[in-house]
Amino acid sequence: MVKLVETPIDPASVYNSICSSFSGSVVFHYAVVKKQAASDKSTTSIEYKAQANTIMELEDIAGEIERSWNLEDVLLIRRTGCLGVGEIISLVAASSPNSEDAFEACRFGISRLKKMATIHKTEKYADITCMKGGSDETIK
């Protein structure tokens, strides 16, 4: 399953959406906004904007993961909008009968989400703010 959301990602609710009675391993990775020094400024937030085909790119990544490892399920969530330091940007979750496949699938998913061509990222600093609002889109 893939989701493109503008609302905060709730770690507690994600577990129930990926668990399987056949999985011996469930691996989650949450990417978060970190305070980064860019020249003499520190990041206060990052604005992420999705293009029209972001869901398709997420589905392609999920499909590649599912074909490459022995998994029960995979979940990719990508957040858009203005996110402050410490907020969750994305989630990669994989459930598998064995831990090796779950970890490798999750590691691959993390790498691919970082390189998404359909997400535009703009760092914001103390003197720049961004707007909040929007809706969520889920594709199974």
pLDDT digits 0-9 by tens, 121-140: 998 887 655 655 554 444 43
Tell me, what's the pLDDT at 130?
A: 62
Per-residue model confidence (pLDDT) at position 69: 97
- Considering only residues 138 and 45, tell me which one the structure prediction assigns the higher pLDDT: 45
Would you state the pLDDT for residue 137?
46
Task: Find the mean pLDDT for residues 10-19.
Answer: 82
Q: What is the mean pLDDT of residues 11-33?
A: 84
Structure tokens at 134: 């929007």
Which fold would CATH assign to domain 2-131?
Aldehyde Oxidoreductase; domain 3 (3.90.1170)
Q: What is the token pair recorded at 34?
A: 């970190």
Task: Taking residues 91-102, report their average pLDDT.
Answer: 94
**pLDDT given at position 35:** 82
Average the pLDDT over 70-76 and give the result.
94
Sign of dihedral through CA atoms 114, 118, 124, 130?
A: negative
- Give the helix/strand (H/E) hosting 104: helix 99-114
pLDDT at position 42, please? 81
What's the pTM value of the predicted model, to 2 decimals? 0.84
Is residue 113 within 8 Å of residue 31, measured between CB atoms?
A: yes
Element (H, E) at 76: strand 73-79
